[in-house]
Structure 1
């Protein structure tokens, strides 16, 4: 990706008639180690998706506040640097979900695939739009080598740029989900 335009795409699928999965992916114009750092280090995460507190290592649980306002505990189940990450969001809660990320070298860039599973079927379009907005923000962060939400966010108020992109994307994902 060489500009602020994105090529990310998201898909939604039914897992069991009650919950579903959202998958987004994009190819970034950076090497796998840099993209891994952008997805796993607190200073880089805060540029595009989350403020995190706690120990970031396999088996540990940390707290996160995402640009979308989601906040809560996140457990690192698998950390196979720089290729694979598996997280449990809200471990042990009724609305627990699993987020999995895979990084692969593709030409001179790196492909990132992110999938969140265990989402309520009737709300998947909201999550799909949200994840696409997140990976779009990652792309902008890599291009600018800086923060994409300088005005910040909290558990009560989303990042303004993230919210605007989510508002823009949600209707298309709602239509794609049949809603």
Structure 2
């Protein structure tokens, strides 16, 4: 992904931070909204079919049906809470054993957006530890989703020609670090729009950037 490609990817997404709720109480949400050049059935299938999801996101196991449990390889797992093809999917989202950790839910909403296009919206609502939020703000979750979703657009455009290995190699490259820095800054702007004072939002952005994209190490003699 070139510098212009990074800018296009960042600018294609509308980011929002808002108060929300989960089954376990008040929460904060990060919301990401963008349009893909693919039909709604194709986008839905790419996000809910285990084989296709594994091509651009992460391998997944489990029962991908209402009430079923899923597990993303090396990442989160949970329960399918709502499934209304091809428009709405909501899952619980947690690390470790079922029921462990905090309360978190992810909802994907799809809607037709003109001829052959789909409006994609992802909302991740979490009951966040106040100290953690005060340190990192929304970028702790938002930057991870920005990176995770970088493969969806190319996969929808390229289909079977999509090179997962090449995409994985890019995610570990210096260009990916530039993308993470730009994503963190974008979530900092969304944080300010949410009402966080500029100085506080800037400190959160700095902490998030240092976590996801620490400065390259240099070795001296």
Coarse TM-score class (shorter-chain normalised): 0.7 to 0.9
Tell me the number of residue pairs that the alignment of Structure 1 and Structure 2 aligns. Answer: 167
Deviation at 1:134, TM superposition (A): 2.8
Larger relative contact order (CA 8 Å, sep ≥ 6):
1
For 2:163 and 2:141, the matched residues in 1 are separated by 20
Paired residues of 1:100 and 1:116 also in contact (CA < 8 A): yes
Pair 1:148–1:113, CA change in 2 (3 A): farther
The answer to whether 1:13 aligns with 2:18 is: yes
Between the aligned partners of 1:33 and 1:19, the Cα distance in structure 2 is 31
Do the aligned partners of residues 49 and 133 (structure 1) sit closer, same or farther apart at CA in structure 2, a change above 3 Å counting? Answer: same
What TM-score comes out, normalization by structure 2 length?
Answer: 0.65
Counterpart Cα distance in 2 of 1:133 and 1:107: 26
CA distance 1:97–1:54, shift in 2 (3 Å): same
Give how far 1:49 is off: 1.6
TM-score by length of structure 1 reads 0.79
Q: Distance in 2 between matches of 1:77 and 1:15?
A: 17
1:129 matched residue in structure 2: 143
- Greater C-alpha radius of gyration: 2
Counterpart check, 1:92 vs 2:99: yes
Q: 48, 56, 69: which one pairs with 1:48?
A: 56
- Deviation per CA, 1:139-162, whole angstroms, max 9, x where unpaired? 121122244541687xxxxx5269
Question: Unaligned stretches of 5+ in structure 1?
Answer: 154-158
Which structure has greater strand proportion? 1
Aligned-residue RMSD, C-alpha: 2.7
Specify the alignment match of 1:156 in structure 2.
Answer: none
Asked if 1:172 is matched to 2:186, the reply is yes
